[in-house]
Amino acid sequence: MTKNVRRVSLVAISAAVFIVLLLLGRDIFLRRPGSPDCGDGPRRTIDIRDFATQYSVYSVELEASVADKAKLSVKLSPAQLEQLSEAMQSAREFRTYVVAGYNSCAVTKAQYSQYGAKFQALDSLAHEINELTEKPSLGPEETAKLAELIGQYGDVAQRLGRE
């Protein structure tokens, strides 16, 4: 092979690779990343961590407390701890669904707002649960209230999971 044939071959192969990459990545080059238009207007894609920060601050704190069961095991029965754990798992899965659905246009902006309000309600319950579980000891009324809050948290999380 001569030097010119090698150069021409190298340029041809490079051009072919560039064209293939351009065709495969045209969405990246032609559309601004992070701004899909889903028919209800353009939207910015959401990172799951941003969603958790915005709508689930206390829920994330509660998840950490449940993960460190030693703190809660004194205040919660095993059944309550399991109920709370299952409710948080359901809410976490649904949170992932909402964000992925919104980013892929499967969830409209209006639905996203509704889900956001429900996650804020869930977060409010988590805040109340956190406040009670932070206390060194609970009286009978507080223990009953904690059980009620855990039940409400589970109900809201189950409703989210059914939607």
Domain match, 45 and 75 both? yes
Phi, psi of 9, deg, nearest 5: -65, -45
Domain match, 25 and 78 both? no
Domain match, 17 and 39 both? no
Domain match, 96 and 54 both? yes
Domain match, 60 and 24 both? no
Structure pTM? 0.65
Q: How far is CA 124 from the centre of its chain?
A: 17
Distance CA 58, CA 36 (A): 30
For 5, residues 6+ apart whose C-beta sits below 8 A from its C-beta are none
The answer to whether the CB of 153 falls within 8 A of the CB of 125 is: yes
Domain match, 80 and 98 both? yes
Domain match, 18 and 59 both? no
Domain match, 23 and 45 both? no
Bridge partner list, 55: none
Q: How far is CA 54 from the centre of its chain?
A: 10
Q: Which has more confidence, 109 or 68?
A: 109
Q: Which has more confidence, 62 or 84?
A: 84
Domain match, 76 and 134 both? yes
- Domain, as residue range, for 21: 1-30
Total domains in the chain come to 2
Q: Where are the alpha helices (DSSP H) in 68-139?
A: 69-73, 78-103, 109-134
Nearest alpha-carbon partner for 118 in 135, 138, 98: 98
Domain match, 21 and 66 both? no
What pLDDT, in 10s, does the model give residues 11-57? Answer: 778 777 777 666 666 545 444 455 667 888 777 888 877 777 666 66
- For residue 37, the SS3 value is strand
- Residue 140 has a pLDDT of 85
Query: In one letter, which amino acid is 62?
Result: L
Query: In one letter, which amino acid is 55?
Result: Y
